[in-house]
Amino acid sequence: QSVLTQPPSVSAAPGQKVTISCSGSSSNIGNNYVSWYQQLPGTAPKLLIYDNDKRPSGIPDRFSGSKSGTSATLGITGLQTGDEADYYCETWDSSLSGGVFGGGTKVTVL
Amino acid sequence: QVQLVESGGGVVQPGGSLRLSCAVSGFTFSTYGFHWVRQAPAKGLEWVAYIHFDGSAKYYADSVKGRFTISRDNYNNTLYLQMNSLKPEDTAIYYCARGGGYRYLEYWGQGTLVTVSS
């Protein structure tokens, strides 16, 4: 049972938009920055969004992040087949004094 | 370019020990904190441990506290994870990652597989 809650899967047609939610509490998302990671099949995770809404260099602006209260959201627009992957949210939990990940969301392009 | 390369994985019996290494290059090792993250077969990511840039603070997941120790060698640009009293549920791919402080995991290695089985 993950500390952060994500939907197990989302799907949409090519070119469409998907959003992935990440729900937590005041001890984690409510008072810390959120980051998002993409894990393509058989590869290591890759940073997509950090500090709630910032993109590292090289990450297209089709990917966006936001945070409100104790929830965060990853948005992917202009969906491509290459976006099929598992996506994870992560933040620091001040009560646990450690990092916590969401359970992951599988994105399927129909 | 930034590179992190894990090594030291393998098969170990329950109750045994293993030390993982993460060799880094392409940046100044001593100015960054580092994380260990693991992923059990067909499961999600689990944060394991974090160490500050100078080793002054270390944090652990409850599932490994008291059994695992994170450390670093700033002269040899290497991060370590000493794993003792291993259990079958510790079976996973272990990744090291450079931290943006403790706020995010900026660069990841390719991972090393640890299998705990008799």
What digits encode the pLDDT tens for the residues B9-41? 999 999 999 999 999 999 999 999 999 999 999
pLDDT category of residue A41 using cuts at 50, 70 and 90: very high
Average pLDDT, chain A: 97
Cα A76 from Cα A110, distance rounded (Å): 14
For A45-85, write each residue's pLDDT tens digit. Answer: 999 999 999 999 999 999 999 999 999 999 999 999 999 99
Band of the pLDDT at B105, cuts 50, 70, 90?
very high
Q: How far apart are CA B86 and CA B102, in angstroms?
A: 26
- The answer to whether B81 and B97 have CB atoms below 8 angstroms apart is no
Q: Do B105 and A45 touch (CB under 8 A)?
A: yes
Q: Which residues, 6+ apart, have CB-to-CB distance to A36 below 8 Å?
A: A22, A47, A48, A49, A63, A65, A72, A74, A87, A88, A89, A90
Q: Tell me the count of A-B CB pairs closer than 8 A.
A: 70
Residues B45, A37: C-beta atoms closer than 8 Å: yes
Q: Is A110 on the interface with B (CB under 8 A)?
A: no
A chain contacts of residue B108, beta-carbon cutoff 8 Å? 44-47
